[in-house]
Structure 1
């Protein structure tokens, strides 16, 4: 069972806004034995969960105001860089998921294979290296506009990040095919989107920012 499956139709209250939200939009924290606050991204650590919306501002606010101590009714001391810690952990989880997807045969890499996957209509995500060439990226983004619905787009990782995660040399273009793995990755990357944009600002003007509205700037097609 994946994270998305495990959190389906389950809601929790955000410590910051006090709003009830689906678990997929929240980060779970628990009190660590040393009195600090530990992120529990897999939602498996023992203890009473404390839930915060998966955004940098929300986690930073919860830490600075020490809303965790109030929720736990204990003298907890969250680290000042808790939001950065969560971002780093989410970043790594997303890369790990891509590595698993490749081993399972549901992640296609390379320009020609990525283009073929998009033409097949089975692409859930187009993952482009942030430092890849605009020419190749633009061609795949233009091609992706013709898939219905178009795949979502992620340009968060460098070629080095992707190469290491996928066990490849010079990984630039990849397509994550529709299915359970893509659903699980979507949950993770949508949480990461609350901490950093999924497409670099330098991509503005590419096909991803086409007037037709291919992408909303966070990597999500409308």
Structure 2
């Protein structure tokens, strides 16, 4: 497949902030058919490209301030709903990757299975449906903290999808809690989840700040 223009690949500078950054922190856009601005999530489309910080607020600013024409050095057509289109593309990429990880045996669901994977240190990340009950989330969060306290890995948490979207990715009904396992397709899925979380600028309340331990949350006798 043809790769992106070498010059803009080497000069990654956000057209909104003017700041340079790593590829993972920026999103590339190119000119597509009919001079329309197209997101290049894989950073491999041919032609001149420009870069925007990979967060929704900066895409919105680029659209509102008509910065794409300057960044791409030509007249372009920009959809008003470009920020929503990018969100949808990132979401589809993440859900599709979850489905592939599940088929490869690298993603599981169900609170019991997820809890076991977390305690065994096999989970790379956990996912909670947006409709998950607080008690179920709390138990898995406690398991994550306990794992870190015992010297295991820090396990990331994501709340990005509704139950219907999780059901679609996992081919099951009523998927509330899920986990990505630490191997192969699981690592690729984690990368896509992080990209969506960064874009939406979600501060997950279940994330554990650096240095936080299992004992930072009071224990209860609740099952």
Is 1:12 aligned to 2:12, yes or no? yes
Q: Cα deviations across residues 86-145 of structure 1 (Å, max 9, x unaligned)?
A: 111111111111111101111121121111111111211111111022222211111111
TM-score (norm 2): 0.81
Q: Which moved more, 1:11-20 or 1:141-150?
A: 11-20
Q: Which moved more, 1:91-100 or 1:188-197?
A: 188-197
* Residue 189 (structure 1) shift: 2.3
Is 1:30 aligned to 2:30, yes or no? yes
Aligned to 2:155: 151
Aligned to 2:131: 131
The Cα RMSD (Å) is 2.2
* Residue 209 (structure 1) shift: 6.9
The 4+ residue runs of structure 1 with deviation greater than 4 A are 197-200, 209-214
Inter-CA distance 173–11: structure 2 relative to 1 (3 Å threshold): farther
Aligned to 1:102: 102
Inter-CA distance 136–56: structure 2 relative to 1 (3 Å threshold): same
TM-score (norm 1): 0.81
Among 171, 176, 180, which residue is 1:176 paired with? 180
Mapped contact 1:52–1:58 kept (Cα < 8 A):
yes
Partner SS, residue 45 of structure 2: coil
Q: What is the rounded CA distance, in whole Å, between the counterparts of 2:16 and 2:76 in structure 1?
A: 16
Q: What is the rounded CA distance, in whole Å, between the counterparts of 2:84 and 2:172 in structure 1?
A: 28
How many residues are paired up? 199
Mapped contact 1:154–1:199 kept (Cα < 8 A):
no
Mapped contact 1:156–1:199 kept (Cα < 8 A):
no
* Residue 11 (structure 1) shift: 6.8
Give the gaps of 5 or more residues in structure 1. 1-9, 215-222
Mapped contact 2:14–2:20 kept (Cα < 8 A):
yes
Q: What is the rounded CA distance, in whole Å, between the counterparts of 1:139 and 1:54 in structure 2?
A: 32
Mapped contact 1:24–1:187 kept (Cα < 8 A):
no
Partner SS, residue 137 of structure 2: helix
* Residue 213 (structure 1) shift: 4.7
Among 184, 191, 200, which residue is 1:196 paired with? 200
Inter-CA distance 151–209: structure 2 relative to 1 (3 Å threshold): closer
Q: Map 1:159-174 to 2 at 5 A.
A: 159-174=163-178
